[in-house]
Structure 1
Amino acid sequence: MDVTYESTKREIATDKGILRYHEAGDGPPLLLLHGSGIGVNGWRNYRGNLGFYANHFHCYVLEFPGFGVSDPVPGHPVLTAVDAVTRFMDALGIDSAHMIGNSMGGVVAVNVAMRHPDRVHKLVSIGGVGAGVFSADPSEGTRLLQHFADEPSRERLQQWLECMIYDPKLITDDLIEERWTAAIRPEAQQALKAMYGSEALALQQQFLAGSPNPPYWSMLHKVQAPTLLTWGANDRQCPPDMALIPLRLIPEAEMHVFPHCGHWVMYEAKTAFERITLEFLQR
């Protein structure tokens, strides 16, 4: 199915502001949840995949609050995104849906699945879910995000983009320009600082050290939805050893690793990713 930005864009009012999204296709509902990072939003994450999935599902690409598209709300971007998913589903009358989540979007999806198990039918994550077992923490990609959040520049943006992808030929001037234009918007800078700025990362470590609550990844046994973990073998943002925890804890988890591929699996391994995820979702 051919999709364009203008033909698919929608918005809906909720009690916490307007949520914007892209909609295409017909069939069982499928929510596509975007990641975090520099200049990110839902359309940029999934515009290359939406047409494929729209041939099989009624697709919704939700724009999370705080990334410059939907109305911002106070709070940490991950927590506000979890709330946004359920608000969005309630507003559109979607009882349950398949979910595909890229990085942060995968974390959001598993949190929805843990809190509202009846609302997630099947779940696909693209990196992100879990915690490092053998790799350094923070990862190389997170350190580059920290440097950009503290002091944005085109050079630091390009360094981070090169960390996201295995094949450097995919880092085009157009991609750099698009991400830079989006990243310098005040709301985008605020969201990035809230997640990856030096102060935010330091506060996060302090909170984890003193919090009586366990981290989300230690409660992944609560995810009842069949889950497909997808990973790039060369992911330097969320190294593949992160998958060991969710693969062990989620009762119905399976995993596919894509060779010669970085963090953006749906972009860099597009055809294989779409084929494998479609088989899983339709199984």
Structure 2
Amino acid sequence: MNYEIKTQGKFRFIEEGEGEPVILLHGLFGALSNFSGLLEYFKAYNKVVIPMLPLFDLNILETSVGGLAKYVHKFIETRGYTNYHLMGNSLGGHVALVYILKHPERVKSLILTGSSGLFENGMGETYPKRGNYEYIQKKTELTFYDPAMATKELVDEVFEITSNRLKVIKIITLAKSAIRHNLGEELRTIEAPTLLIWGNNDTITPPMVGEEFHKLIPNSELHFIDKCGHAPMMEVPDEFNRIMHDFLKRLNSKAVGANAG
């Protein structure tokens, strides 16, 4: 995926297309390639924005879900986005939740897929066995229903991260922060329309996590996708995009109807 990475001050991001912004937040081992199918599809309808989250660049005291949510807030303020949709996968979903709880008036809709925030089979405690490629490969394969999705390129990316001692410390810090910063009843205060897309075969945030989010977030709808793991937008991009686009179209037709009335 060769898109221009733009910079503004300390922020690095991709921004493609025109229309209402859709801001995408990646997870702990997230890379831009995670969102390539989504970006290619939605740039025809929306302004698609992917900020590079500074997972390894925050100081250790700010290396937390809350620290990342503050970073996202500063990024959105700097760019002046309004009336935007916020979408997050895995840790990115958790960051989106912390953000919307602090800035509810700013978000038009929330889209979560395989989000942490209630429960996850953490990678943080056991993950970084530095230098063990086979172990990293197996762990990466667990993200997907189809282990072939864990391409050599993807495994190499994760292996490179976990071979760096400082990055490993940051990963463990973020994973522990996600487990500590568990959300519960406060999710009931989220008023924004919320779309939950879950893989039926997600072993990291299992289907019951999606069901619990659905119970807690009042204005939410939940869609399960079969033969799909923790990253539906990568594993089944066509199905994911169809569900998400339908949701956004329905939102806009409601808004048009309300304005007409």
TM range (shorter): 0.7 to 0.9
* Residue from 21, 28, 31 that aligns with 2:23: 31
User: Paired residue for 1:72?
Assistant: 58
Partner residue, 1:20: 12
Preserved CA contact (<8 Å) 2:118 2:183: no
1:147 partnered with 2:126: yes
* C-alpha contact (below 8 Å) 2:193/2:220 kept by paired residues: yes
Aligned residue number for residue 218 of structure 1: 185
In structure 2, list runs of 5 or more residues that go unmatched. Answer: 251-261
* Alpha-carbon distance in 2 for matches of 1:250, 1:148: 31
The more displaced of 159-168 and 240-249 is: 240-249
What amino acid maps onto 2:185 in structure 1?
Answer: S
Give, in angstroms, the shift of residue 145 of structure 1: 4.5
RMSD between aligned residues: 2.2
Matches of 1:129 and 1:252, distance apart in 2: 19
Deviation at 1:84, TM superposition (A): 1.1
Do the aligned residues in 2 keep the contact of 1:165 with 1:264 (CA within 8 Å)?
yes
Of 226, 247, 255 in structure 2, the residue corresponding to residue 280 of structure 1 is 247
Letter in 1 for 2:8: I
Once the 2 structures are TM-superposed, how far is the Cα of residue 51 of structure 1 from its aligned partner?
1.4
Deviation for aligned residue 1:23: 0.9
User: Which of 139, 146, 152 lines up with 1:160 in the alignment?
Assistant: 139
**What is the match of residue 258 of structure 2?**
none
Give 1:44 shift: 3.1
Q: 1:21 to 1:162 in 2, by over 3 A?
A: same
Cross-structure match for 2:254: none
Within 2, Cα distance between the matches of 1:116 and 1:244? 24
**1:187/1:88 CA distance change after superposition, 3 Å:** farther
Match of 1:271 in 2: 238
Per-residue Cα deviation, 1:149-198 (whole angstroms, up to 9, x for no partner): 364521221111111111122222232223323443455323212134xx
Q: SS of the residue aligned with 1:225?
A: coil
- The equivalent position to 1:191 in structure 2, one of 146, 164, 170, is 170
Report the AA paired with residue 122 of structure 1: S
Please name the residue that 1:57 is paired with: 46
Give, in whole Å, the separation in 2 of the partners of 1:19 and 1:218. 33
Instruction: Label 1:110 to 1:240 Cα distance change in 2 as closer, same or farther (>3 A).
Output: same
Structure 1-normalised TM-score? 0.80
Q: What does the per-residue CA deviation read over 1:216-266, in whole Å, with 9 as the maximum and x for residues that have no partner?
A: 232101111100111100001111111232211211010000000010110
Measure, in 1, the Cα distance between the counterparts of 2:148 and 2:94.
29
Question: Are 2:107 and 1:109 aligned?
Answer: no
The match for 1:211 is none
Q: Secondary structure at the match of 1:32?
A: strand
User: Shift in Å at residue 131 of structure 1?
Assistant: 2.6
Q: Helix, strand or coil: the match of 2:110?
A: strand
Per-residue deviation, 1:4: 1.8
Relative to structure 1, the CA distance from residue 30 to residue 178 in structure 2 (aligned partners, 3 Å threshold; closer, same or farther) is same
Q: Partner letter of residue 126 of structure 2?
A: H
Does the 8 Å contact 1:96/1:119 carry over to 2? yes
| 1:275 alignment partner, SS class | helix
Distance in 1 (CA, whole Å) between partners of 2:53 and 2:145 is 27
Change (3 A) 1:187 1:62: farther
Amino acid at match of 2:227: H
TM-score by length of 2: 0.87
Number of residue pairs the alignment of both structures matches: 249
> How do 1:124-273 and structure 2 match up within 5 A?
124-132=111-119, 139=121, 142=122, 144-149=123-128, 151=130, 153-185=132-164, 187-196=166-175, 200=176, 215-273=182-240
When residues 150 and 174 of structure 1 are mapped into structure 2, their CA distance, relative to the original with a 3 A threshold, is closer
Percent identity of equivalent pairs: 29
| Separation in 1, partners of 2:130, 2:166 | 15
